[in-house]
Amino acid sequence: MHRRALALTAVAASALLLAACAQETSGGGSSSAPAPASSSAAPAPESSSAEPAPSPTEAPDECAKENLATVVPGVLTIGTDSPAYPPYFVDDDPANGQGFESAVAHSIANGLGFTPEEMTWTVVPFNKSYAPGNKDFDFDINQISITPERAEVVTFSDGYYTVNQAVIALADSPTAGATSLTELKDARLGAQVGTTSLKYIEDFIQPNTDIFVYNDTNDAKSALKNGQIDAIVVDLPTAYYITAVEIPKGKIVGQFPAQEGGEQFGMLFQKDNPLVGCVNKVLAEMKESGELQAIQDEWLAGTTAPYFKE
């Protein structure tokens, strides 16, 4: 072979050898083993197909209108007696929102999310309201005092009014001048059956004569006006109204001292009705905001009657 050709062949061989070495050094050769991973290498990114972690679900609001288990779905059914007396109701129409208890009931309904059109009233005789058994109303509001005996068979809301009992007599009668419980003992006293008014006569006055018991307050008032009895016992706000409007010749002789804790009116529910918790929540908000006191001031304002002495 010619020397020039031999020289070119050697140069080419050297070039091929250098290229092979360079490829092996850079790791680009297909037969080279992969370099070990560094311990500080960043972790591989998560797959984009991974689902996001679910967010915690909020507990349902048990007092939201749609979650309330009312007697008629979507309607708040409220019970009270008939006739519905002032100052708790006006014009014998509980639905008009006028009068202390009507206004309280409408505010409770509004707090629960019910409009006036979604409220309905049903007649419940006073004595039947706290009888045991199922109720055809969601709650009853009718000057019903909270007592341990009644609470055994029905459930009460928190109190919405603290009330004392009072004695009414005709202004020109001897009983009108009584200042102590002792002076009432010989009087002919009357009250509605099943009421705390009757219980006050029995437990505190303990008269020497028989107590006159009537089916309702109307009968008791008629007996007083006709001179059949000397005095009747009713709650103080009712006494204000009776002496101002119904028996102008009547006089509030006095009121009984409040007992420990005070006698309170409560809304009445079927035993263990869970709706009571939501009503109490609204009632607490009304007390805190001053709304309940404003309703009381509007409908139950009156001068203070004297207290009976022992």
Query: Which stretch of 114-123, 238-247, 251-260, 268-277 has the lowest confidence by average pLDDT?
Result: 251-260
**Is the predicted pLDDT of residue 274 greater than 70, yes or no?**
yes
**Is the predicted pLDDT of residue 18 greater than 70, yes or no?**
no
Q: Which pTM does this prediction carry?
A: 0.73
Mean pLDDT value across the chain? 85
**Is the predicted pLDDT of residue 49 greater than 60, yes or no?**
no
For the chain, what percent of residues have pLDDT higher than 70? 79
Spatial contact of 114 and 76, defined as CB atoms under 8 Å apart: yes
Backbone phi and psi for residue 128, each to the nearest 5 degrees, phi listed first = -80, -25
Which H, E and C letters describe the chain, residue by residue?
CCHHHHHHHHHHHHHHHHHHHHHHHCCCCCCCCCCCCCCCCCCCCCCCCCCCCCCCCCCCCCCCHHHCCCCECCEEEEEECCCCCCCCCCCCCHHHCCCHHHHHHHHHHHHHCCCHHHEEEEECCHHHHCCCCCCCCCEECCCCECCHHHHCCEEEEEEEEEECEEEEEECCCHHHHCCECHHHCCCCEEEECCCHHHHHHHHHHCCCCCCEEECCHHHHHHHHHCCCCCEEEEEHHHHHHHHHHHCCCEEEEEECCCCCCCEEEEEEEECCCCHHHHHHHHHHHHHHHCHHHHHHHHHHCCCCCCECEC
**Is the predicted pLDDT of residue 220 greater than 70, yes or no?**
yes
Q: How confident is the model at residue 28 (pLDDT cuts 50, 70, 90)?
A: very low
Closest to 153 measured CA to CA, from 178, 181, 177, 128: 128
Provide CATH code, domain 65-161+262-300.
3.40.190.10
Chain region(s) in the chain for CATH 3.40.190.10 = 65-161+262-300, 165-255
Q: Which fold has domain 165-255?
A: D-Maltodextrin-Binding Protein; domain 2 (3.40.190)
- Across residues 169-187, what is the average pLDDT? 95
**Is the predicted pLDDT of residue 24 greater than 70, yes or no?**
no
- Across residues 87-95, what is the average pLDDT? 96
Q: How confident is the model at residue 261 (pLDDT cuts 50, 70, 90)?
A: low
Residues whose CB falls within 8 Å of the CB of residue 44, separated by 6 or more in sequence, listed in order: none
**Is the predicted pLDDT of residue 130 greater than 50, yes or no?**
yes
Residue 71: Cβ within 10 Å count: 18
